[in-house]
Chain A
Amino acid sequence: MIRWLAGLIGFGLAATSALAAEPVLIGIGYLGVAGPRSTLSLVEQPAENDGVAGARLAIEDNNTTGKFLGQRFTLEERRIKEGEDPVQAATALADKNGFIIADLPADALLKVSDALRERGTLLFNAGAIDERLREADCRANVIHTAPARAMLADALGQYLVWKKWSRWLLVVGSHDEDKLFADALRRTAARFGAKIVQEKTFEDKGGARRTDSGVTLIQRQMPVFTQGAPAYDVLVAADESEVFGAYLPYRTWDPRPVAGSAGLVPRSWDPAQDQWGAIQMQNRFMKLNSRRMTALDMQAWTAARMIGEATSRTNSGDVKKVTDYIKGPDFSIAAFKGTRLTLRDWNLQLRQPILLVDGRMVVSVSPQEGFLHQVSELDTLGYDRPESKCKLK
């Protein structure tokens, strides 16, 4: 009895001193690009705080947990203006923050990761979907919470094949990223047995996305543009540049569904996602930011939560310790997608289910039933270990 009492007192002391001590501070930087991005649909126009709003929510979540563990998380945001050096901005952030969540174009991200390598700063790529960042240009200090382009294409392709819509009319924009998405879709078609019956290019001849009599003109252009195609089941649009994709649904010459960059779209997250406890997350996000949560918000949330998960499991704010734990075999993160998410150890890409959304509802979630894999069904999405060209350094 006395021993038990003594033990209790000892515990009480330990608990008190832990609470009394100064919390361990864990600094997270957020590096993005300044200026708005224009979309065809006004309702899809991203908010100024797209992405960082998700990181902010994760900081709140981490701090709720952190108060029980004596950890405190802070977020410092930095936006790069056109012509500004990303390395300089990143270095300034890295002075105070051991972790940086980046929403940068591929080239800028590579420059930053190489500049910060010696410091040991851990970078999270929350924005760029480029394959090369996970393949030939992969880096040991960059973790990808954004899905890769091939993961998105495969997620869509699996569903179209499951639906037996296997004859695709592929319409590709004239910009580089449109062509990259088309490459990914061609690879998907070959992998899963779909047939691209014809390819068309939609030239971007410039022009405004907002006009006063836009609908009238588009209604005349799109049927003609899609006229005369060989028999197909679904039109797949590769238009990451937001030039024509959203103009296609309901306007094709033949009555066919549209998928890809418009219609049925593959995304890591959507405001309509409410399964697997996601409604709590959507409500928390709405309360904090007074708007709905986008895919970029989710990718940044996941990055900041991965840091919080690792600091609580290691009971440490040490960047090296936390990095090792995240890259280690025991790491997984819960992100309201019905399954634990883990890292592909060969290129540090986060495995994740991909939602297929139509702007109002989640239509389906890939991987689809029947796409099997010896390690994880999530590895049926994107480049798998045997195909990877990544050598982490």
Chain B
Amino acid sequence: MSRMWRIGLLSGLALAAAPAHAFIAYVSNEKSNTVSVIDTETWTVTKTIKVGQRPRGIDFTRDGKFVMVAVGDDDTIQMIDAKTQAVVDSLPSGPDPELFAQDAAGKILYVANENDNTVTVIDLEKRARLGDIQVGVEPEGMTISPDGKTLINTSETTNMAHFIDTSSRQIVANVLVDARPRFAEFKHDSSEVWVSSEIGGTVSIVDPKKHEVIGKVTFEIPGLRKEAIQPVGIGMTKDDKTAFVALGPANRIAVVDVASRKVTKYLLVGQRVWHMAFTPDEKYLLTTNGVSNDVSVIDVAAQKVIKTIQVGELPWGIAIAP
């Protein structure tokens, strides 16, 4: 009996793992002060790495050698060696770093420092601070245009997306969006920037050339009060056809048709869903669910949640090895 069961389980696993490529996902757990390492072949946590206090923003260096994790309460960004899976170094970010973005070459890192209304510019090779850019109140969301020329920073209390010229490090435009903008994402063809507003409950679509809001994605879930819909993380497929938007305490990921800017489906995930990352083959999308302490795995093509993985307390950010 038990053998039969095991065989069944194995074959089930084999089916799930049929895509062959295994990837490694790193999840920052805001409350546990750890990073959970997930193997996407077995969908299990293979290691839990101790990091500094309040880890949130997390990403790989472009060469795939290090995982950078912003540990806000320690006022630094720690570097995890992807091979040894241990913290090996730290970067001189400003106070309370939360999210960051790097240029295409992986040489310059831009960090949003929530506590002093600045974006800190860091030389990744020298691991040295190059300067600061003054932005609005509580800078948070960070993204760089695919050509590397424009950095977008959102400030939560100023309610703006600041467009910063990466060569002069000057703000060239400020675009008002809805309340508490938390995350910004470029379309891969550079034609639009999507900015989520947590309290406003919308995603503003900004024309990065004209610096104007040209559209908005709105959300409506029957039986759920409007205030519970709080958009945060955004993920867009490489073909720019489908966007996924995390709706926080609405416990759902909205699937958005990028062309029509309309929601086509809501996927129920864990509680207070924050951020997400695609596997490099774009077969799966992993989301961090803050309150239920787990990660949901979405089959991108089927637009279905296929798995839930328990991680540390209050999972926040996620990055997958390239």
By a beta-carbon cutoff of 8 Å, the part of chain A in contact with chain B is 11, 15, 61, 64-65, 68-69, 277, 280, 283-284, 305, 309, 312-313, 332-334, 338-340, 376-378
Contacts and interface: CB of A to CB of B under 8 A. Distances in A.
A18 B118 CA distance: 23
Given A11-B211, A64-B158, A332-B200, 10 more contacts: A61-B137, A65-B155, A65-B158, A277-B180, A283-B115, A284-B115, A305-B157, A312-B159, A312-B176, A334-B157
Given A68-B160, A280-B96, A377-B227, A340 B136 contact: no
Contact of B138 (A68, A280, A339, A378): A280
A305 B115 CA distance: 18
A313 B158 contact: no
Nearest to A12: B172
Contact of B199 (A69, A305, A332): A332
B117 A64 contact: yes
Nearest to B180: A334
Interface string B128-146: 0000000011100000000
A299 B322 CA distance: 48
B179 interface: yes
Contact of B225 (A284, A312, A338, A376): A376
B96 A340 contact: no
Nearest to B54: A279
A65 B199 contact: no
A332 B160 CA distance: 15
Nearest to A337: B199
B156 interface: yes
A202 B176 CA distance: 54
Given A312-B176, A340-B199, A334 B158 contact: no
User: Contact size class for B?
Assistant: 20 to 34
A69 B159 CA distance: 12
B57 interface: no
The 10 closest A-B pairs by CB, nearest first: A65-B158, A334-B199, A68-B174, A339-B227, A334-B179, A340-B199, A334-B180, A61-B137, A280-B114, A64-B137
A24 B91 CA distance: 40
B200 A340 contact: yes
A377 B226 CA distance: 10
A280 B72 CA distance: 11
Nearest to B227: A339
B156 A277 contact: yes
Contacts, number: 66
Nearest to A351: B227
Interface string B111-128: 000110100000000000
A340 B230 CA distance: 10
Contacts of B162: 68
Contacts of B136: 64-65, 68
B312 interface: no
Contacts of B201: 340
A305 B137 CA distance: 12
B311 to A, nearest CB: 21
Among B136, B155, B173, B199, find the residue whose CB has the most chain A CB atoms closer than 10 A: B199
Interface in B172-212: 172-174, 176, 179-180, 198-201, 211
A313 B178 CA distance: 9
Nearest to B160: A68
Nearest to B138: A280
A340 B179 contact: yes
A283 B173 CA distance: 28
29 contacts: A11-B211, A15-B173, A64-B137, A64-B158, A65-B136, A65-B155, A68-B158, A68-B160, A68-B174, A69-B174, A277-B114, A277-B180, A280-B114, A280-B115, A284-B115, A305-B157, A312-B159, A332-B199, A332-B200, A333-B179, A334-B157, A334-B159, A334-B179, A334-B180, A339-B227, A340-B199, A340-B200, A340-B201, A377-B225
Contacts of A309: 159, 179
A54 to B, nearest CB: 14
Contacts of A334: 156-157, 159, 179-180, 198-199
Contacts of A313: 176
Contacts of B176: 312-313
